[in-house]
Amino acid sequence: MPASAAEAAPDHARPFGPGLAVQIDCDKPWVYAFVARGEHDDRPAFPDPFVKVGRLPLSLELPPGTYTVLVEGDSVPTATRVFRVDRTPVRVTIKGGSQGLRDTGTLLTALGGVALVAGVLVELSGTKDEDSSKKQGIAIPLLIGGGVGFAGGLTMFFVSRTTSTDDGPALPSEADHARASFRGLAVVGSF
């Protein structure tokens, strides 16, 4: 039988040993978190530095140092966030993007690019004897539609990304408790 509640904590709650509290939240359901020591991106690596810690929201303990959290889900684009655990607990908040909007943006960007190329080719093709109004009747709508599609697709792609913030302390510190007990008088700083 464990001697304390801290010893009874599951392995995923302390993937690198005991440390300070880290809370990871997400605004979307069914998003999973993976944590690695140091700074990493989401490219595949061997051996994989990431340890699966579970479905968000979750709380875990990490020793002081720099960490990378990778989040992924079925309807959320994969994203990473580097954060530092120092002397106070940390809260990381994930704002999940939309994988469907990202896929639509990618498709719209590709179709807009094809329309732009087709419009340029139509405008540059032909002989001197041809009536240029017929070419422009085809090329101008292709160029305008392609430009709108390309710009709209890029906008959708970048708006749909998953973002994150490091919100600082997750739990009230001893200084917060002291300030709460002496309302109207607070001295904060290092001497």
At 86-138, the pLDDT tens digits run 888 888 888 888 888 989 999 999 999 999 999 999 888 875 656 677 788 88
Q: Strands 163-168 and 90-95, how do they pair? A: antiparallel
Please choose, from the candidates 176, 5, 1, 171, the residue with its C-alpha nearest in 3D space to the C-alpha of residue 90. Answer: 171
pTM over 0.75: no
Please choose, from the candidates 43, 159, 28, the residue with its C-alpha nearest in 3D space to the C-alpha of residue 106. Answer: 159
What is d(CA 16, CA 107) in angstroms, rounded to the nearest whole number? 41
Question: Please, what is the Cα angle at 164 between 41 and 49, to 5 degrees?
Answer: 30
